[in-house]
Chain A
Amino acid sequence: MSDDIAICTQDLVKRFRTLRGMVTAVNGVTLQVRRGETYGLIGPDGAGKTTTTRVILGLLKRTAGESSVLGYDSMRNTYEIRERVGYIAQQFALPADLTVQENMRFFADIQDVSAEEQQRRIPELLEFAGLTHFTKRLAGRLSGGMKKKLALACSLVHEPQVVLLDEPTLGVDPVSRREFWNLLGNLRAEKGLTIFVCTPYMDEAERCSRVGLMYQGRLIAHDSPKMIKRLVPGRLLEFTPSNFVPARQIVTGMEGVLEVQTYGVMLHLFVDDVARRRQEIAGALAAQGITCVGMREIEPRMEEAFISLIRRQSDQSHGV
Chain B
Amino acid sequence: MAFKITGTHPIEVKDLTKRFGDFTAVDHISFYVNRGEVYGWLGPNGAGKTTTIRMLLGLLRPTDGEARVLGYNPATEAKTMQARVGYMSQLFTLYNDLTARENIRFYGQAYGLSRAKLRRRQAEIIEMAGLQGRENILTGNLSGGWKQRLALGCAIVHHPQVLFLDEPTAGVDPISRRDFWGLIYAMANKGVTVLVTTHYMDEAELCQRVGFLSQGRLAALDTPRRLKETHMRGQVLEINTPDPDRAMRVLKAAQESQRLPLDEVALYGAQIHAVVPAAEEFRQPLKDLLNAEGVRVNAIEWIAPTLEDVFISTMERL
Contact = CB atoms under 8 A, between A and B. Distances in A.
Given A188-B245, A188-B267, A201-B200, A178 B308 contact: yes
Contacts of B306: 203
Interface stretch (B74-82, B169-177, B277-285): B169-177
Contacts of A307: 174-175, 178
A78 interface: no
B106 to A, nearest CB: 26
A190 interface: yes
B53 interface: no
Interface in A29-74: 36, 38, 43-47
A159 B184 CA distance: 48
A189 B244 contact: yes
B301 to A, nearest CB: 12
Interface string A199-216: 011110011111000000
A208 B172 contact: no
A310 interface: yes
10 contacts: A44-B173, A45-B171, A45-B173, A174-B311, A189-B267, A203-B306, A262-B178, A264-B38, A264-B185, A264-B206
Contacts of A261: 178
A174 B206 contact: no
Contacts of B173: 43-47, 200
Interface string A146-166: 000000000000000000000
A190 B270 contact: no
Contacts of A176: 44
B286 interface: no
Interface of B: 38, 42-47, 143-144, 170-176, 178, 181-182, 184-186, 188-189, 199-202, 206-208, 244-246, 248-249, 252, 264, 266-270, 306, 308, 311-312, 315
A171 B45 CA distance: 9
A241 B215 CA distance: 37
Nearest to A43: B173
Interface in A262-299: 262-265
B199 A174 contact: yes
A225 B182 contact: no
Interface of A: 36, 38, 43-47, 143-144, 170-178, 181-182, 184-186, 188-190, 192, 200-203, 206-210, 224-226, 244, 261-265, 301, 303, 306-307, 310
A310 B175 CA distance: 9
A164 B74 CA distance: 48
Nearest to B270: A209
4 closest A-B pairs by beta carbon, nearest first, are A44-B173, A185-B267, A173-B44, A264-B206
A225 B267 CA distance: 13
B246 to A, nearest CB: 8
Given A45-B172, A189-B249, A203 B269 contact: no
B266 A181 contact: yes
B202 A207 contact: no
A202 B248 contact: no
Contact of A46 (B143, B206, B248, B249): B143
A225 B245 CA distance: 17
A207 B268 contact: yes
Given A45-B172, A173-B199, A202-B202, A208 B45 contact: no
Nearest to A301: B202
Contact of A143 (B45, B171, B266): B45
Contacts of B47: 173
B251 to A, nearest CB: 9
